[in-house]
Amino acid sequence: MSAQRKDDHVRLAIEQQHTHRGINQFDEVAFVHHALAGIDRPQVSLATSFAGLDWPVPIYINAMTGGSAKTGVINRDLATAAHATGVPIASGSMHAYFKDPSCAHTFQVLREANPDGFVIANVNATASVENVWRAVDLLQANALQIHLNTAQETAMPEGDRSFGSWAAQIEKIAAAVDIPVIVKEVGNGLSRQTVLALKELGVAAADVSGRGGTDFARIENGRRELGEYAFLHGWGQSTAACLLDAHGAGLPLLASGGVRHPLDVARALALGAKAVGSSGGFLRTLLDGGVDALVGQLRTWLDQLAALQTMLGARTPADLQACDVLISGGLREFCDQRGID
């Protein structure tokens, strides 16, 4: 059941990449062009730091999969691309491994193919501390992600209906591991209120993973024969809105959800993200074109991000926050209603 679900998620996420592109509020974030702002390319660094971590690049392959034979191959290929480019990579939820340890290898490939890379283990907010330790140990993980996905669970035929224990369990896990804990959404966004609460629970960073890309309510509805939650399509806040909302809430922010190209990466960094992840788009490249295509895409993104920083006069990704940006349309309205300047 679990292995079948993992294969369904990949199939439906790719179908979504090919057929459905929702509204993306990164289009409502524009840099003001200053024609004399440019610097020299050798002055530009892509390095970023947050939560005690130093990453050479501000782009990562976000959580996706593992738990079935097919997704084990995908994980090996994603990790091979991460290894070739130095890009950090997250595993998919390791719940499948807790339920059936015989699928361990479908996750372990993330470390095998990427022995010196930055690898992030991924669990849900009900995982026991013992299982979290097993997950971290299996991957020799450098950081831990805990995912929050109430909208997905609600739309999932076999999904959870009890969310009340999540905050206390996150606090327990954060206290029990000695690597940074990043809490993330799965495409519906984290509000300022949520980020403030996460800070109190002792987590090190929050990945807002907002609306605009992979839509899990749509994916789960694609797995239902009856009783669709079609009204949950497009639920939540966009990634750009989340970054504006949670700015200054006291936790380092990572951005994912609907990041389409290096300009979206630069926009997210300008709105305060320390690093920017993609899942569905990178998966599509891998499945359409193989590992070489994904390596090519990651190299191009890093090269073009450095080119944008050169043009915008930002020596580091963090310097992009000093650039002038214009916010328009629905995103402007969101800011007005939320009292954001």
Longest CA pairwise span in the chain (Å): 59
Amino acid at 300: T
Amino acid at 87: V
Distance CA 340, CA 206 (A): 19
By CB under 6 A, residue 267 contacts ligand FNR: no
Least distance to ligand FNR from the beta carbon of 202, Å? 19
Q: Which of 24, 48, 65, 285 binds ligand FNR (CB under 6 A)?
A: 65
CA quadruple 281, 233, 22, 273: dihedral sign: negative
- With respect to ligand FNR, which residue has the nearer C-beta, 53 or 148? 148
247 assigned ligand-binding residue: no
Q: Which of 113, 141, 259, 268 binds ligand FNR (CB under 6 A)?
A: 259
Distance CA 315, CA 48 (A): 11
For 100, left (φ over 0), alpha (ψ -120 to 50), or beta? beta
Distance CA 118, CA 56 (A): 10
Q: Going residue by residue from 281 to 310, which x/- string records binding to ligand FNR, judged by CB under 6 A?
A: x-x---------------------------
Q: Which of 257, 268, 273, 320 binds ligand FNR (CB under 6 A)?
A: 257
Q: Which of 9, 134, 267, 274 binds ligand FNR (CB under 6 A)?
A: 9
Residues in region 86-105 near ligand FNR by CB under 6 A: 92-93
Distance CA 88, CA 90 (A): 7
Q: Going residue by residue from 166 to 205, which x/- string records binding to ligand FNR, judged by CB under 6 A?
A: ------------------x-xx------------------
Q: Given the DSSP bridges, would you call strands 275-278 and 59-61 parallel, antiparallel or unpaired?
A: parallel
Quickly tell me which residue has 């080119």 as its tokens.
307
Q: Which of 48, 108, 114, 122 binds ligand FNR (CB under 6 A)?
A: 122
By CB under 6 A, residue 68 contacts ligand FNR: no
Q: Which of 214, 238, 297, 309 binds ligand FNR (CB under 6 A)?
A: 214
- Give the three-state DSSP class for 52: coil
Least distance to ligand FNR from the beta carbon of 244, Å? 18
Amino acid at 167: A
Least distance to ligand FNR from the beta carbon of 64, Å? 4
Could you tell me which stretch among 41-49, 59-67, 285-293, 327-335 binds ligand FNR (CB under 6 A)?
59-67
- Give the three-state DSSP class for 48: strand
- With respect to ligand FNR, which residue has the nearer C-beta, 134 or 184? 184
Least distance to ligand FNR from the beta carbon of 55, Å? 17
Give which of 326, 324, 298 is closest to 46, Cα–Cα: 298
Could you tell me which residues are beta bridge partners of residue 206?
183, 253
The closest residue (CB) to ligand FNR is: 213
CA quadruple 247, 250, 253, 257: dihedral sign: negative
Give which of 233, 214, 241 is closest to 15, Cα–Cα: 214
Could you tell me which residues are beta bridge partners of residue 143?
120
Least distance to ligand FNR from the beta carbon of 260, Å? 9
Cα 125 to chain centroid, rounded: 16
Binding site for ligand FNR (CB under 6 A): 9-10, 13, 62-65, 92-93, 122, 145, 147, 184, 186-187, 209, 213-214, 256-259, 278-281, 283
Give the residue ranges of the annotated binding site for substrate.
5-6, 93-95, 152
Give the residue ranges of the annotated binding site.
5-6, 63-65, 93-95, 122, 152-153, 184, 209, 214, 258-260, 279-280
